[in-house]
Amino acid sequence: MTTVVPPQTTTRTRTSERSAVLTVDDLTVVYEVEEPVTAVKNASLTLAPGEILGLAGESGCGKTTLAYAVNRLHKPPARIASGSITFHDRDGRDIDVLGLGEEALRTFRWDKLSMVFQGAMNALNPVMTVGAQLDDTLRTHRRGMSRSQRKERASDVLSRVGVDPARASSYPHELSGGMRQRVMIAMAMLLEPQLMIMDEPTTALDVVVQRDILREIVRLRDELSFAVIFITHDLPLLLEISDRIAVMLQGEIVELAPATEIYTAPRHPYTKKLLGSFPSLSGERGAFIRTGVDDTGGTANGTDAKEAGR
């Protein structure tokens, strides 16, 4: 059971002087079916370097559609009807994402911005080893790297997400669900992007594995300073790991505020309903997710017990 717990206030050091890594302004996405459906309506948001922005809302509210628009992954009948998406590169350039041609877009994806897709555990190629899939990405985007350099890089990212580099020779069906999810996160961070979009990355995982994955995401963010858009319908989860949270309803961002403010002083009636739909437990949740540090001192009456009651 998911429980609402107070978000913890943390201070994070930003390694970049940029005020934003991504700006989405007045974005509208329409599905041109027999009766056109506006899936995203006039969405606007900014994302700071190293920030975790949670995107919450019920199924069908437009969360994934917005994420696909940021990454230019839409296929017909989806169409971006209006608005702009600007990526603020660490080299000082502003990149008009909607203006990129096909080749420039291929270079932009995974290099500047990567995505862990919903249902990512089943997104790996079943007939290729983990190492071969990592190597294929590096050969495509880092053509100057030698074979030994690619192997070393693949081993490094697997180690960072808690997967033994020896498993690079394994096929996806030989890995557990949690390990496959970690491999997908490794692939997303392989080229050291500045922004990572994670669409329900812990769906279908048990709570223990989910906790470990979340801890790894926060730890890696702190180490590598990439920004994260974390999409889920699980608002209590976002309260723990997010710096700010955007709440979507029927394609619109109806509230955007710091996580602490969302918890203590929600403004929109829908946000209040989301918070009210989960039970509450008294006491401190613990800092293992928001800090990326495991609390090994938990007891039956402490952090571990509260996690079990989630």
Instruction: Tell me which of 171 and 287 has the higher pLDDT.
Output: 171
How confident is the model over 15-24, as pLDDT tens digits? Answer: 345 689 999 9
Does the structure show a pLDDT above 60 at 131? yes
Please check whether residues 137 and 98 belong to one and the same domain.
Answer: no
CB 31 within 8 A of CB 8: no
Name which of 79-88, 245-254, 281-290 the model is least confident about.
Answer: 281-290
Choose the final residue of a domain: 192, 211, 241: 192
Tell me the pTM.
0.83
Give the CATH number for residue 244. 3.40.50.300
Domain that holds residue 174: 122-192
How confident is the model over 158-182, as pLDDT tens digits? Answer: 999 989 999 999 999 999 888 898 8
First to last CA, the chain: 5
Please check whether residues 50 and 77 belong to one and the same domain.
Answer: yes
Please check whether residues 236 and 298 belong to one and the same domain.
Answer: yes
Q: What is the mean pLDDT of the chain?
A: 85
286 CB-near residues (< 8 Å, 6+ apart): 295, 298, 302, 303, 306, 307
